[in-house]
Amino acid sequence: MPTNYALRSPVYAQATSTSSLVKSVKMLLTINGTLAYTIVKDAATAAPAVFEISELVRDYLNITFSETFAAPLP
């Protein structure tokens, strides 16, 4: 299911592990079903690993402007 994010503001994804055996976390970012980024970070027990993804996703936006203006409201 598609999710809408306000990409001009930071968008965070996070993961937390309670196992002392976990030394790193990996985030796989897919866009339209295609793997776009794989990011690996060091992990600490019971501390969240935070990823900021809005700048990454903005690389895949196609922004267009139609030059059609709406009439102002009276």
pLDDT tens for each residue of 29-59? 888 889 999 999 888 888 888 999 888 888 8
Q: What is the pTM of this model?
A: 0.64
Helices and strands: H and E segment counts in the chain: 1, 4
Number of C-beta neighbours around residue 49 at 10 A: 20
3-class secondary-structure state, position 20: coil
Long-range contacts of 36-45 (CB under 8 A, 24+ apart): 36/60, 43/17, 45/17, 45/18, 45/19, 45/20
Domain chopping of the chain, boundaries: 12-58
Confidence band of 1 (pLDDT split at 50, 70, 90): very low
